[in-house]
């Protein structure tokens, strides 16, 4: 049975919008099985490991609920007429796609692009599935397509935060899911009952699951005949019986103050292994099962992957803009901004950041409508930038590191040093920049360290490499998407030239 307390019932606003306070109230309920540092967490909203990130997500809901931003953030629900988040709008026109980006951009600016799996991420995937629910009708049956349509409407109208776990745990990548040493290491269906599916096993790497309402558990990893039990897509409330969320180490735990770790302390969205101990998933929460073809095609024959990653690219381009602003500020602080080669290096970084930003526009400019009038962002534009991301992101971080020298390291041990007059006087004297108060210099460079060098930053570097899957797979997408017909035609044309 779906035990989740409907978020709508907890939403206070007259217009039905979920506010930050509504969200935090839901997150405080002691009903989810989140484990951190050997303990079951009873109140996620106020737990020291999660409080900062929970507040940041609450702020997103407040931004969305702000009547002054209504047209930027919302569109009227086709079912209720009430305002709902734009990420759930099925794009039919170029204006729809641009408006989606506008909403997502607004949110990413409030997190500096540092939270990847905010509600608009899986919200965009779900919208992509629903935009082409006919694929579900055809490959599984109308009943399942209708479950999907119902879920899209529910998530949209109840402002749900859904995260996802769509990769089986690594364990032994040389073997298929059904060949692992235990058939329920990878999450699989144990049996069907009148009430629904019983699912056992684990799935990774559910970023944001700790903070979400539901987790979409499915599989993007290629499945082969024999893997039918692993070929499902289900919505699981985070408080479902037997559903456990094992979060990784919290970087907010290591952040002794928001001055010393301004980003780790506020934006650590957490990644987790989800374990399903014979979880009963009611039939209405099942989008399909026992269907390898649909498990694959949900991502590629609907605009889900394109819309979900259009969101991800909007976020990344905000993060790069933040990196550019911080790099320039860092060089102003150290005075190196006046040196021509430094200007050249920042200019080169800016060129890459601008390319990523402009590739977002290329996804919209090259968008194509399908037979149902849904506009798909250009996948050639999307996968070209995603293919380069795995190399480009570390390259930009490396360039920023080169420009920083020791500035991000040669900093006081903590904010407490400023409280000691003797130390503070020396800091004032020796850690200085002309015209910039010492505290501001230190705060800026600690911000830079948290973006580029801290443990939080290291996780981010790994995230940008893998959030969309391993790079060899993304490059295969690019191979499939590139217009080789046009390229080959040129070769034929050249070969046909007469002597």
Ligand X SMILES: Cc1cc2nc3c(=O)[nH]c(=O)nc-3n(C[C@H](O)[C@H](O)[C@H](O)COP(=O)(O)OP(=O)(O)OC[C@H]3O[C@@H](n4cnc5c(N)ncnc54)[C@H](O)[C@@H]3O)c2cc1C
Q: Shortest Cβ distance from residue 345 to ligand X (Å)?
A: 28
Q: Shortest Cβ distance from residue 195 to ligand X (Å)?
A: 26
Q: Shortest Cβ distance from residue 457 to ligand X (Å)?
A: 12
Pairing label, strands 39-41, 34-36: antiparallel
Interface characters, 39-78, with ligand X (x: CB under 6 A)? ----------------------------------------
Nearer to ligand X, 205 or 255 (CB): 205
Nearer to ligand X, 17 or 273 (CB): 273
- Residue 5 · residue 32 · CB < 8 Å: no
Q: How many CB atoms lie within 10 A of CB 146?
A: 14
- Residue 246 binding ligand X, by CB under 6 A: no
Q: Which of 24, 104, 166, 320 binds ligand X (CB under 6 A)?
A: 166
Nearer to ligand X, 213 or 271 (CB): 271
Nearer to ligand X, 304 or 445 (CB): 304
Q: Which of 44, 160, 205, 273 binds ligand X (CB under 6 A)?
A: 205
Q: Which of 339, 409, 470, 489 binds ligand X (CB under 6 A)?
A: 470
Omega prior to 205 cis, within 30 of 0? yes
Nearer to ligand X, 91 or 119 (CB): 119
Q: Which of 24, 130, 167, 367 binds ligand X (CB under 6 A)?
A: 167
Classify residue 80 as left (phi > 0), alpha (psi -120 to 50) or beta: alpha
In the numeric block, the tokens 């002794």 are attached to: 256
Q: Which of 11, 127, 207, 239 binds ligand X (CB under 6 A)?
A: 207
In the region spanning residues 107 to 146, those forming contacts with ligand X, defined by CB under 6 A, are 117
Q: Shortest Cβ distance from residue 285 to ligand X (Å)?
A: 18
Q: Which of 38, 39, 170, 435 binds ligand X (CB under 6 A)?
A: 170
Distance CA 390, CA 392 (A): 6
Q: Shortest Cβ distance from residue 439 to ligand X (Å)?
A: 32
Q: Which of 85, 97, 126, 206 binds ligand X (CB under 6 A)?
A: 206
H or E segment to which residue 83 belongs: strand 83-85
In the numeric block, the tokens 């990644």 are attached to: 271
In the region spanning residues 409 to 468, those forming contacts with ligand X, defined by CB under 6 A, are 459, 462-463, 466-467
- Residue 261 · residue 255 · CB < 8 Å: yes
- Own/partner pairs, 33-40, CB within 8 angstroms, 24+ separation: 33/239, 33/243, 33/244, 33/245, 34/210, 34/238, 34/245, 34/247, 34/272, 35/244, 35/245, 35/246, 35/247, 36/247, 36/250, 37/250, 37/253
DSSP 195: S
- Residue 59 · residue 20 · CB < 8 Å: yes
In the region spanning residues 171 to 200, those forming contacts with ligand X, defined by CB under 6 A, are 173
- Residue 211 binding ligand X, by CB under 6 A: no
Q: How far is CA 88 from the centre of its chain?
A: 15
Pairing label, strands 188-192, 196-203: antiparallel
In the region spanning residues 263 to 282, those forming contacts with ligand X, defined by CB under 6 A, are 271
| Tokens at 225, concatenated | 């005949």
Nearer to ligand X, 158 or 269 (CB): 269
In the numeric block, the tokens 């629910």 are attached to: 133
- Residue 472 binding ligand X, by CB under 6 A: yes
Distance CA 288, CA 291 (A): 7
Nearer to ligand X, 106 or 117 (CB): 117
Q: Considering CB under 6 A, how many residues would be counted as binding ligand X?
A: 20
Site residues, ligand X (CB under 6 A): 117, 164-167, 170, 173, 204-207, 271, 459, 462-463, 466-467, 469-470, 472
């Amino acid at each position: 049975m779906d035990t989740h307390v409907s978020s709508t019932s907890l939403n206070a606003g007259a217009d039905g919008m979920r506010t930050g306070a509504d969200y935090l109230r839901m997150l405080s309920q002691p009903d989810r099985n989140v484990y951190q540092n050997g303990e079951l967490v009873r109140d996620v909203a106020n737990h020291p490991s999660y409080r900062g990130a929970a507040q940041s997500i609450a702020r997103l809901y407040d931004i969305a609920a702000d009547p002054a931003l209504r047209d930027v953030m919302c569109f009227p629900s086709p079912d209720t007429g009430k305002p709902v988040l734009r990420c759930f709008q099925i794009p039919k026109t170029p204006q729809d796609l641009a408006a989606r980006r506008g909403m997502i951009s607004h949110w990413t600016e409030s997190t500096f692009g540092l939270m990847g799996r905010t509600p608009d991420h899986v919200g965009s995937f779900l919208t992509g599935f629903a935009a082409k629910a006919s694929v579900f009708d055809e490959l599984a049956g109308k009943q399942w397509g209708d479950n999907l349509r119902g879920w899209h409407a529910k998530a949209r109208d109840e402002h749900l935060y859904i995260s996802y776990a769509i990769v089986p745990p690594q364990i032994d990548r040389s073997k298929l899911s059904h060949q692992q040493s235990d058939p329920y290491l990878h999450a699989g269906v144990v049996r069907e009952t009148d009430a629904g599916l019983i699912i056992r096993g684990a799935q990774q790497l559910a970023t944001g699951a700790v903070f979400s309402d539901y987790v979409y558990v499915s599989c993007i990893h290629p499945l082969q005949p024999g893997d039918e039990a692993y070929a499902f897509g289900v919505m699981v409330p985070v408080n479902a019986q037997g559903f456990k969320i094992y979060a990784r180490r919290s970087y907010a735990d290591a952040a002794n103050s928001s001055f010393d770790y301004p980003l780790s302390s506020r934006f650590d969205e957490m990644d987790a292994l989800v374990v399903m101990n014979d979880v009963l998933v009611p039939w209405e929460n099942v989008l399909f099962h026992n269907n390898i073809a649909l498990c694959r095609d949900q991502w590629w024959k609907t605009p889900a992957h394109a819309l979900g990653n259009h969101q991800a690219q909007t976020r990344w381009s905000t993060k790069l803009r933040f990196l550019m602003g911080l790099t320039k500020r860092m060089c102003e602080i150290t005075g190196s901004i006046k040196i021509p080669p430094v200007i050249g290096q920042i200019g080169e970084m800016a060129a890459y950041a601008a390319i990523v930003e402009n590739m977002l526009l290329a996804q919209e400019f090259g968008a194509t409508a399908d037979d149902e009038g849904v506009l798909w962002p250009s996948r050639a534009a999307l996968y070209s930038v995603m293919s380069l991301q795995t190399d480009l992101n570390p390259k930009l971080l490396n360039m920023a590191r080169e420009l920083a020298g020791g500035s991000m390291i040669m900093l006081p041990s903590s904010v407490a040093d400023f409280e000691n007059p003797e130390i503070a006087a020396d800091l004032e004297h020796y850690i200085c920049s002309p015209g910039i108060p010492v505290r501001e210099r230190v705060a800026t460079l600690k911000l830079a360290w948290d973006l580029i060098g801290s443990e939080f930053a290291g996780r981010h570097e790994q995230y940008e490499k893998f959030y969309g899957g391993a790079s060899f797979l993304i490059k295969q997408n690019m191979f499939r998407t590139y217009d080789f017909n046009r390229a080959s035609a040129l070769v034929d044309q050249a070969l046909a030239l007469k002597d």
